[in-house]
Amino acid sequence: MDKFSNAFKEFNLTISLKKPQVMSQGTSSFPIITMNEQCFDIGHQFQYIRSTASDNLSLDVELNKRIGKASTTLEKLITRMWENKHLTISTKVNVSMTCVISTLLYGSKAWTTYSHQERKLNTFRMHSLRRILGISWRDKATNNAVIARAGNPLHIHLCQRCLC
């Protein structure tokens, strides 16, 4: 790293040594990287282009962030979309696929999910479908009935992304 720093100095550039962090994945010990005799901090998560990588190679942090962002999107559309009596169910479901599910599944092509993570995504999907359709838990509607009432596109969309 010192050679890298010296190359920067030749072009009158400076490197901020306050921000850089080191993260290693799948190792038991963290590497020690220094520049100009200063050690970089060790980070456990890394944000890169709206996705989060963690040092334990788990998708749980990323999934929790994705579900949080999709929930925010879902809640912002309550009065304009989900409670609007003039919109058809297919319009509401299409808007949900475009806004909410796209936010939820951003970066999912690179995911390798476990069954508990798929259940978490499916739980959010069913929660959002019930919210969109105005189905309360008191209505005691099965998941299959909810999917059938929605016209099944969210299920197909998730399966196409290999998350079913």
pLDDT of the residue at 24: 64
Asked if 155 contacts 149 with a C-beta cutoff of 8 angstroms, the reply is: no
d(CA 71, CA 101): 10
- Going 137 to 139 to 141 to 147, the CA torsion angle's sign is negative
In the chain (164 residues long), the average pLDDT of successive 10-residue segments reads 72 73 68 70 66 69 90 92 90 88 82 83 89 87 86 57 50
Q: What is the pLDDT of residue 67?
A: 93
Evaluate whether 164 touches 125 at the Cβ level (below 8 Å). no
Per-residue pLDDT at 161: 55
pLDDT value of residue 13: 76
Q: Rounded distance, CA 125 to CA 120, Å?
A: 9
- Beta-strand relationship, 21-22 and 41-42: parallel
- What pLDDT does residue 136 have? 85
Name which of 121, 123, 122, 146 is nearest 135 in CA terms.
Answer: 146
Q: What is the pLDDT of residue 71?
A: 95
